[in-house]
Amino acid sequence: MPASLPNRRSAPATLAAMAVLLLQGACASLEGPDYGVYDHAPGFNRASFDLSERIDNNFFEPVARSYSDIMPEPVEAGVLNFFANLRTVDSSINGFLQGKPKSGGTDMMRVLLNSTVGVGGLFDVATSAGFAAQNEDFGQTLAVWGWRNSRYVYVPLVGPSTIRDLPSMAIRAFLPRLLFGGGYPLWASGVDLLATRADALTLTDTRDAAALDPYAFTREAYYQRREFRVFDGDPPLDDFDDFFDEPDDP
Amino acid sequence: MKRFVCLLLFSLAGFAGSPAWADAASDEASASVDAFHAVLLDAMRTQGFTERKALLDPAVVAFFDLGSVARISVGPTWRSLAEERRSAFVALMQRLITATYADRFDSYSGQSFVQVETVSASTGPVVKTRLNRTNDEPVNLDYYFRNGRVFNVVADGVSDLSLRRADYAGIIREAGFDGLVADIEASIGELGD
């Protein structure tokens, strides 16, 4: 039977069914974690998370820890600053795309100052000069343009994301190569990856100490953190009053 | 008459915007946050995990609405729990929160807390603060009050209570409430190592 629009007779029934589904959806959001409803492929995502964690625990994390132990702190900071400076180009463009010329201009000044006075981006002189990092990206731009929460994806070996944030993730990963062209050496990508993982050690250590279900913990934290970023650190006040709608007794 | 009505509406609007009881609640919440932060700073200067826990425990009991934290963290399963199990879980939350603070706030290196502002939510005052660190970026800490106590702490946009609720939901689904209790006990045991 070909699919068709509901006829007059079945329209009320369809509307009733939709109302029930919507009601169930509303109840589900009260009965479970808020952002779990965006996880449409928990089987794949959890498997991807487990595999990534196994590889990370056995390879990336120990290497990153050794790197962090061996490297003097200023060198570690310099490496991070260098790659962050390259990605500020992306942040600046997205500031403008979001209709925030001040934010885009601030990042532009950061690139100029850090690339020159900051010796090719090794030193962050812009922050102390009053040009704080704006941390914009294309995923936030899409959110500002109206694509709010989207489906959750745990990208193997990369980390948590959403369908909306995937292009942004790719842009940021390949940006140095886009800026330098074919002359950008492969080992530089390796150093970038290593420095990024070393920088995230505190974060993953805190998660591992606090989380009973690291997968759900990571997903919830990712969505909340993205929301915080989309609103430039000042999201609308959430009353959390839904939490008090649940009766204590059956 | 028209002027009188306008004045009445204006004064009512002013009253609704900042009622005396709301100001009193905000002042109390603000003082409560200051007192808790003072204890956190003391804890950072205190040697030994057990000593820090002893210092923090009464402050955690006075500051947090542990009953709400426990109920909301467990979710719908809470409704099926007998009163004794609920009380035991509230006590477990108290131990977990105290041990977590004792574990995290274990050394002092020039950190300071500042209050940014207090705003009103439908549940009560929200005290927005900032933890300044010497070699790192500051952290925004927002304390959500209800009936004079804190039920949620939001750090840089991440809600402690929402995280806990999401974290526990899967464990309850897979291993039941007893599994959750066992996991929290194990987690407390690992803190302070």
Average pLDDT for residues A203-215, to the nearest whole number?
A: 91
Residue B136: predicted pLDDT: 81
Cα A172–Cα A209–Cα B85 angle in degrees, nearest 5: 130
Q: Which of residues 91-120 of B touch A (CB under 8 A)?
A: 100, 103-104, 119
CB-based contact (8 Å) between A33 and chain B? yes
Interface mutation target, options A212, A228, A231, chain B, most CBs of B under 10 Å: A212
Distance, CA of A123 to CA of A79 (rounded, Å): 9
Counted domains in chain B: 1
Q: Which residues contact A237 (CB under 8 A, 6 or more apart)?
A: B119, B121, B126
A151-205 confidence digits (pLDDT tens): 999 999 999 999 999 999 999 999 998 888 888 898 999 999 999 999 999 899 9
Q: What are the CA-CA distances from residue A186 to residues A95, A159, A163, A197, B19 (Å)?
A: 29, 21, 27, 17, 63
Which of A36, A212, A240 has its CB closest to that of B144? A240
Report the C-alpha gap between A194 and A184 in whole angstroms: 17
Question: A231 vs chain B: nearest CA distance in angstroms?
Answer: 10
Band the pLDDT of B12: cuts 50, 70, 90: very low
What is residue A34's predicted lDDT score, i.e. its pLDDT?
A: 66
Q: What is the mean pLDDT of residues A198-219?
A: 92
Give residue B192's pLDDT. Answer: 75
Residue B168 included in any domain: yes
Q: Which of B123, B126, B157 sits opposite A225 (nearest CB)?
A: B157
B170 touches chain A (CB under 8 A): yes
- Chain B nearest-CA residue for A238: B121
B43 lies in a domain? yes
Query: What pLDDT shows up at residue A2?
Result: 34
Out of A17-26, A100-109, B131-140, B159-168, which region has the weakest mean confidence (pLDDT)? A17-26
Chain A / chain B CB contacts < 8 angstroms? 108
Chain B residues in contact with A221 by the CB 8 A cut-off are: 158, 163
Is residue B104 in a domain?
yes
Any chain B CB within 8 A of the CB of A199?
no
* pLDDT score at A7: 36
Chosen for mutation from B144, B162, B187 (greatest number of chain A CBs closer than 10 Å) is B162
Start-to-end CA span in chain A (Å):
44
pLDDT of B52 strictly over 80: yes
Determine, yes or no, domain membership for B14: no
What is the pLDDT, as a whole number, of residue B34?
97
Domain-embedded: residue B1: no
Mean pLDDT is lowest, of B16-20, B72-76, B142-146, for: B16-20
pLDDT of residue A236: 84
Domain that residue B122 falls in: 19-190
What is the structure's pLDDT at A28?
35
- Give the distance from CA B150 to its chain's centroid: 4
- Answer whether B130's CB lies under 8 Å from B113's CB: yes
> What is the per-residue DSSP string for A145-198?
TT--S--EEEETTTEEEETTTHHHHHHHHHHHHHHHGGGS-HHHHHHHHHHHHH
Q: What is the mean pLDDT of residues A84-88?
A: 96
> What is the rounded average pLDDT for all residues in chain A?
85
Query: Using one digit for the tens of pLDDT, what is the confidence trace for A25-77?
Result: 333 333 344 678 899 999 999 999 999 999 999 999 999 999 999 999 999 99
- Chain B CB within 8 Å of residue A42 CB: no
Q: Is residue B4 part of a domain?
A: no
- Residue B65 counted as domain residue: yes
Q: Percent of chain A scored above 70 by pLDDT?
A: 84
Domain harbouring B96, CATH code = 3.10.450.710
Contacts of residue A29 in chain B, CB cutoff 8 Å? none
3-state secondary structure of B139: strand
Q: Where are the domains of chain A?
A: 13-242
In a domain, B121, yes or no: yes
Q: What is the ipTM of this complex?
A: 0.81
In this structure, what token pair is assigned to residue B63? 């500051």
Q: Which helix (H) or strand (E) holds B120?
A: strand B112-121
Residue B168 above 90 pLDDT?
yes
B166 and A219 within 8 Å at the Cβ level: the answer is yes
